[in-house]
Each structure stands twice: as C-alpha cells, then as structure tokens.
Amino acid sequence: MRRLLSLRPLTLLLIAIILVAAAFAFVMGSYEGAGPLTRPRTVTLEPGSSARAIAAKLAQEGVIASERMFLIGIWLSGKSDALKPGEYELPAHISEEGVAKKLAKGETVVRKMTFAEGMTSTEIIEQLKISSSFSGEITVAAEEGSLLPETYHYGYGDPRDTILKRMRDGMAKVLKELWPKRAPGLPLENPEQALVLASIIERETPLAAERPLVARVFFNRMKIGMPLQSDPTVIYALTEGKEPLDRALTRDDLKGDSPYNTYVTKGLPPTPIANPGRASIEAALNPGKTDALYFVADGKGGHVFAKTLDEHNKNVRRWRKINRASD
C-alpha cells in the first residue's frame, strides 16, 4: 500500500508530462501544418501592428485558422517580437510557421514607382503625397534639381522621406561620378552649373540622341555672349515649377523680368528648372559637335538645327506651317 502511495506523485508527474507533450505536439502540428488559405493572397499589415493585431488580421484574411494557436506558435518559436508589418504575398495553404518566417524575415512585396526625367521637385513631391503606398509626412528638403528621376523599388508603408533621400543621394552620386569625366574647356565652373544646364536640356528635348547637340548649341551661344533663349526657362519663371503652363508663351512672356528668363538674362539661370536624368547630365558634360546656334521643332518629335538666323527662320516658318496643318 505504501509502495503504491509512493508511486502516485511519479504517476501524476508522468501524466502531466504526457499532457504537456501532447499539447505541445497539437500546437506545433497546427503551427507547422497546411493552413486554410485556398488561393494566393496579398495581405497588408499596417505599420505599428502588434503581434496580436497581426494574428487578428491574418485570421480575418483566412490565412490562419486560429489567432490563439498562431500566437502560441510564434511564442514557442521565439518570433513574437520579430514580426514585421508590410505587404506580403502569401501562397495557398501556407502554414502558420511559414507565415511567421516570412514576417520575421520581412519578405514583403517589392513595389516600384517611376519618376519621369524632367519632373520638377513640386511634381515629385505631389506624386509621393497622393500615393497611399507610403507613410509619413515629407520633411526632407528637395531643392529643384537635387532629385534623381528613376524607377525606385520600395515596400508598402515605406516613409516618403526615405524615397526622397534615396533620390537626393542618387543625384549626388551621379554628379560625383560624371563631373570628372567632363569634356575639357566647358564654360562650367562646378557640378551645380552642369545640373542647371542639364535641366534645361531635359526640358528642351525628350530624344536622347539630340541632347548632346542641344548642349552644344547652348555652349555655342554662351561662347559668343548670346542669351540661351530657352522657352522652358521662361515657363519656369512664370510657374516656378509648381504647375504646367496651360497656354503658349507670348512675346510679353519673353520680355519678363526674371533671372530665369534666358531671353533677357545672359548665362545660366540661378538654379535648375527641373530634375534631369543621367542622360541629360552626360550631355551637358560631353556635348556633341555642331556649329548650330538655333533649333526648332521638326513636327516629328525632334528638332531641326541651323547655323544661321536666316536658315533658322526658314525652319520656323516650316514648323508653323506644320503646326497650322495639324490644328
């Protein structure tokens, strides 16, 4: 009898161990087994979400069968504090363990946004503001010309400031790389002036093949003391890059008193008029070969160049004829 009584605590301990092991096996079986998701789904977990909020969202989206089991599973696996919010692409029947691993590694969906060459800083900031994919207010300074327009990859909820910093760093890197490779004898005192000229070239022509020629035309004008006479600079003088000009330029516009009006002010404007791409910066630093002093639209998306004013006026008349025919 005494022997049986002495065995009872051991028996109870054994039963407890068996029950705990069974419970652990049940939880881990649920945690590691196939989940209820019947088809791939993209789930967005908002920034700042707690583990409990994440579990609730996953259950709501049908990714996991039980919030409680998921929370116990991530606690047992040591991932309770490692889950990262964001946008996730989850395959069908992914296990709770698989979900936790994805969230712990931060394997979010990679999005991309393209900023077109020649956009002003105001336009870039507006594009960031209207996108709900980003978070946070914009506090980073974005001076005109300081942002490199490219396609940028990001994750849902990334701060808007982060993208602007990357664009700013990108422009600084390109200038640092290209400035030492500039052609000799250019009338540019520093990389900032190259950026100003590149922004004008960017707004003058969308054709990469023309940009070195446009650059040379401006250098030819500067060499003889002729104003740059660039329409995009006049537009910037009128709008400050905050909005498009919804009308044609007038003769009065070309006479406007502004340091950005290159019809009345010789040399470069004080700052860039847009954010140029790499190709326009390369063109400003390595212009093409031409004696031309003038260029005008050819009606085919490009321009026709001329050395003399008489030849240019003929080209202008031809362009006006084409323009009238298209109205």
Domains of the chain, each with CATH number or no CATH: 35-108 (3.30.1490.480), 110-173 (no CATH), 185-326 (no CATH)
| Sign of the dihedral defined by the CA atoms of residues 129, 134, 137, 141, in that order | negative
Alpha-carbon gap, residue 158 to 133, rounded angstroms: 8
- The model's pLDDT over 161-174, given as tens digits with 9 standing for 90+, comes to 999 999 999 999 99
What pTM was estimated for this model as a whole? Answer: 0.82
Which pLDDT value is given to residue 197? 98
Alpha-carbon gap, residue 183 to 250, rounded angstroms: 36
Ranges of residues in the chain whose predicted pLDDT is under 70: 1-7, 9-30, 326-327
Which pLDDT value is given to residue 1? 46
- The model's pLDDT over 283-319, given as tens digits with 9 standing for 90+, comes to 999 999 999 999 999 888 899 999 999 999 999 999 8
Which pLDDT value is given to residue 286? 98
Which pLDDT value is given to residue 9? 66
Alpha-carbon gap, residue 87 to 96, rounded angstroms: 17
CB contact set of 143 (below 8 Å; sequence gap of 6+) = 121, 271
